[in-house]
Amino acid sequence: MRRAGLVLTVALVAAMSAVQPAGASAPPVGEGTAATALASGGQIKGPSPIRVSRSPYVAASGETHFFYGSVYQYGTSDGAWGYYTVSRPPLDPADAHTLAELNVSSADLKQAVEIGYTVNRNLYGDDLPRLFTFFWVDGWPQCYNCGLVQVSSSVWPGMALAVGSVHQFSIRHFQGNWWIADNNTWIGYYPDNWWGGRYTQAGLVEWYGEVASSVSTPCSDMGNGLLASSLDAARITGIGYWNGPSVNLTVIPHAYTNAYSATVYAQNNVRYGGPGFC
């Protein structure tokens, strides 16, 4: 997620007001700037988060294995953001997807809202990097690009993103809804009633790349195919919070750092990715 600030124009606010359902108000204009990245907030300690399968869009056959280049932070907030540089990583036929995303969840990982871009033939039928949204309820993965009340007519889940472009992905809880934004556009929201009103604050945020595969040694690239140790690796920059803690990121450890990796630099920036095992 890259945020130069979620600065909505008066015309955009008017357009959103015209199409959004009664009672649903978009977050205010002019927020999401660098100033809020250092906002104070509560700290929560917990284990390294581990995700599970996003059925039904998984590997073609057998067990699905997940691989990450990931950072995370526990802490109470209304959401978060990051600026993602879009790549078009090659997807091996044995693999289900290769993606990069922002995941805002409860501290126990049972509730979550996600936005990012993915290369996923099963979902989209091509190898283009495309915008996606996803959500979790009570520990159960729901579905890609569904359940969202869309308010934007110019940005939508499933649209292709230009390789090399930078996208500020943002998720924020505001007035009874989890709002999702791409650059300066609020795409839409997940209403609180998906969670019965139980999920109104984040306790954990993750910024990461992910590869899902039917084999334990996938060949798909993550990011632009370079490991995080390379200064030219894929990046997530300008990471910050909506009404949350100061940024203090932790890399999720794993044993396959020669295939995929992540590293933090300059406090709120991340390099991630890798060539896989081939």
* pLDDT higher than 70, residue 15: no
Q: Is residue 1 a part of any domain in this protein?
A: no
Task: Note down the domain range covering 196.
Answer: 30-49+56-273
* pLDDT higher than 80, residue 237: yes
Q: Is residue 7 a part of any domain in this protein?
A: no
**27: alpha, beta or left? (left if phi > 0; alpha if psi -120 to 50):** beta
Q: Is residue 25 a part of any domain in this protein?
A: no
Q: Is residue 73 a part of any domain in this protein?
A: yes
Q: Which amino acid is it at 76?
A: T
Counting the structural domains of the chain, the total is 1
pTM equals 0.82
Q: Is residue 83 a part of any domain in this protein?
A: yes
Backbone angles phi, psi at 2, to 5 degrees: -115, 125
Q: pLDDT per residue over 44-71, tens digit each?
A: 334 445 444 443 344 445 688 999 999 9
Q: Quote the pLDDT of residue 37.
A: 28
Nearest alpha carbon to residue 191 among 246, 259, 266, 135: 135
Confidence band (pLDDT; 50, 70, 90) for 184? Answer: confident
Q: Is residue 101 a part of any domain in this protein?
A: yes
Nearest alpha carbon to residue 254 among 63, 52, 70, 53: 70
Q: What span, in angstroms and rounded, lies between the C-alpha atoms of 241 and 75?
A: 10
CATH at residue 222: 2.60.120.1270
